[in-house]
Structure 1
């Protein structure tokens, strides 16, 4: 049995090592594998997955995906004529392949972000299920190699609310996709636990007395808050329902910080905030579409032929056409992920450094942008305010004040975030947990509790 953090940004797996959880190394990826996938063509994902499935799962899958498998097989033959293997890549390998040829192949980052999306058609749901299953199959295989045995039971982390806007309907859709994918690749028992609750379980192991803890999990796609009653006595109980005082969660996470920094920190050198020859402000819609990598509809609009023609006209109408040409280059060569990845890497670098030079010379010769912490904080004011509102919502629901605020998630590393939260809660201790490992460790503890 394992704790499985199928995260928006990273995936990780934990097992119990005596009385403590241990996060497994996943081959060359280390303890964390980035939640992304690259395929030479979207159509071949289903064929790769079919070949990895347990034999008992293959007949039903083949019947359900007959047309998709046939289409993928035809695509495999076309790729073979060009000497391209129909392989899938994950983690750093996926990003490397994408950056080598951004306008070739199929790259997706953070598919978990889309699972609760409104308006998904059945073929889109099947595609996301196959993408999730392919990623889970890869992680499961790496896990079993590391352990030297098969794994059939798991607890998977889930946000309080997935990224859809339809409340429980979105949650049901996302959980159904995750459950079908997990069982398809060979997990026979699948349970879920709220990610902030899991992070709280790990923090609880350090407590020596009963404590009211507001857990804030700033994940890649969502921020989730749980007010928990925790301590040694509570940790010994299997039924924790009375200890979970409140929950709140919303679609705001590390990806939104990356997108905000890309929009407000990088897009000005692509023409954002510039003017038309007429003196009017340049339209901003395409700039937002360009960086909105977690919105299927906006990305589809940005890469449409109609938007390509619009951007060509915008170049002609711009007072500084050389800037807008860069946006057109992003559109022509499918560089949205390239731009947002540059913002993400800068966000990470700003954890240790006060400023960071961003090299964008592959988009335009000599292009570089200097970003700093103050600019990052200004770019992300909306996201920071939304996180504060979620924390206050959890406090209000619980009818009590926290004695400790425990913060986890990759973005929790940022000094900008830490300073902001301390300003909002000046009289409450703020503890920064293992930025990536708290949720995985807590899921592992819960798996050990319910499956033992």
Structure 2
């Protein structure tokens, strides 16, 4: 499988040599600009950092009546939300690519609604502006990263997802666009450190997808634009960090608001669960707050044997705490990934309420996802037509490789390979930048 890379051509609107590479991630994003030949530099996108959360916050505060909502990005967006600024937080926008949601509009406050695709375009416009400020002029050419599969087992929707991302990039002024698979970009970043030819299994475990590639790398191959002969196989699953957050929330937080609760009569079935799955999915949380849905959920009180659980659910909804609860789940996941049990403060739901999350509890909640990811890596090597012993290195990148048990399980089937950790948040951007140099050189 190879990325759809349009041939570079001279552009009337881009007479100079400026170009950039953008890693538009589910959880974090980064931008690379060319430096010396064979080298790139990352743009300091926010507070001196080379990466920023893929987050947009729409706020009416400080805006004239009936005006367009003001947008904050990255850490500023998350801070505004945490500080209780009135508005709408958008995260995991990449997850809607390939779905029917991409052309749908969502309420962002102040009587305004915005298409999801326009939200993505707005975020890309912000990244483009940061790149241009660093480069000292307009940029009209870009390489964009993409997962191996935006959508599992559906080539038509997968192609539609890439087309939608390309449309958003054109909307903000990129005239020449090329795509490269994110794990291939990571392989290019790893290749810069190699001293001999070898086979590497790249594991890019991000926020929305887990992607693997078996790539032949070596110091003599770096200047080749066409690396199709070196890409032995690519494979991936649409399971990653945001799925982990969802399962952690469903396992540790939402049961205290009624998930899997039962009715008042002996042997009665569980209460309807759709609201809990929606509350645990970033881009669906706001659908729970519509007046019709709130009325429906309020009428469900009689379904709960313990009415306190329904009361907490309604507090969560009435106070619009969905994103805050998911942030608590994400923070708990990060704490457990660091080897400690997590204490989850749920005071916002009820005074004195809290939950505990141990590593065994977390791993049990994530087991099915972890196994799917591990098997995707094994399958990638099988697809490459090589034995596990032929893999000399397992190169780990992507934010979710910080979960130590996952990293260990990915590497375990390849006992002769050394495990190499790249920059979890920036390796892909750096590799995309190297690829951009070769595409637009």
The one-character-per-residue Cα deviations of 1:401-425 (angstroms, maximum 9, x if unpaired) are 3222211100101112123334444
CA-CA distance at 1:368 after TM superposition = 1.9
Match of residue 93, structure 2, among 97, 101, 111: 111
The one-character-per-residue Cα deviations of 1:71-126 (angstroms, maximum 9, x if unpaired) are xxxxx9x96238x8731111122223334448x53321111100111475576898
RMSD: 2.6
Partner of 1:57: none
CA-CA distance at 1:142 after TM superposition = 1.8
Cα distance between partner residues in 1 of 2:259 and 2:96: 27
Cα distance between partner residues in 2 of 1:112 and 1:159: 10
Q: Is the 8 A contact 1:132 1:181 kept in 2?
A: yes
Indicate the larger mover: 191-200 or 385-394.
385-394
SS of residue matched to 2:115: helix
**How do 1:86-235 residues align onto structure 2 when only pairs under 5 Å count?**
86-101=69-84, 104-118=86-100, 127-163=115-151, 167-235=154-222
Cα pair distance change 1:126/1:392, threshold 3 Å: farther
SS of residue matched to 1:181: helix
CA-CA distance at 1:251 after TM superposition = 1.1
Partner of 1:4: 22
Structure 1, unmatched stretches of 5+, are 42-75
Matched, 1:291 2:286: no
Cα distance between partner residues in 1 of 2:425 and 2:59: 30
CA-CA distance at 1:307 after TM superposition = 4.2
Indicate the larger mover: 417-426 or 5-14.
417-426
Cα distance between partner residues in 2 of 1:430 and 1:201: 16
Indicate the larger mover: 307-316 or 378-387.
307-316
Cα pair distance change 1:27/1:166, threshold 3 Å: same
Cα distance between partner residues in 2 of 1:123 and 1:299: 12
CA-CA distance at 1:430 after TM superposition = 2.4
TM-score by length of 1: 0.84
**How do 1:311-330 residues align onto structure 2 when only pairs under 5 Å count?**
311-330=297-316
TM-score by length of 2: 0.85
Q: Is the 8 A contact 1:290 1:331 kept in 2?
A: no
The one-character-per-residue Cα deviations of 1:367-424 (angstroms, maximum 9, x if unpaired) are 2222222222111111101101211221121111322221110010111212333444
Indicate the larger mover: 1-10 or 309-318.
309-318
Partner of 2:436: 447
Partner of 1:369: 355
Cα pair distance change 1:417/1:309, threshold 3 Å: same
Indicate the larger mover: 190-199 or 329-338.
329-338
The one-character-per-residue Cα deviations of 1:52-76 (angstroms, maximum 9, x if unpaired) are xxxxxxxxxxxxxxxxxxxxxxxx9
SS of residue matched to 1:191: strand
**How do 1:403-422 residues align onto structure 2 when only pairs under 5 Å count?**
403-422=392-411
Indicate the larger mover: 104-113 or 272-281.
272-281
CA-CA distance at 1:442 after TM superposition = 0.3
Cα distance between partner residues in 1 of 2:427 and 2:290: 41
Cα pair distance change 1:2/1:380, threshold 3 Å: same
The one-character-per-residue Cα deviations of 1:184-209 (angstroms, maximum 9, x if unpaired) are 22222211100000001101111111
Cα distance between partner residues in 2 of 1:343 and 1:309: 27
CA-CA distance at 1:37 after TM superposition = 1.1
Cα pair distance change 1:332/1:183, threshold 3 Å: same
SS of residue matched to 1:365: coil
Cα distance between partner residues in 1 of 2:64 and 2:141: 38
Partner of 1:40: 59
Partner of 2:49: 30
Partner of 1:252: 239
Indicate the larger mover: 31-40 or 313-322.
313-322
Cα pair distance change 1:393/1:118, threshold 3 Å: farther
Match of residue 392, structure 1, among 378, 392, 395: 378
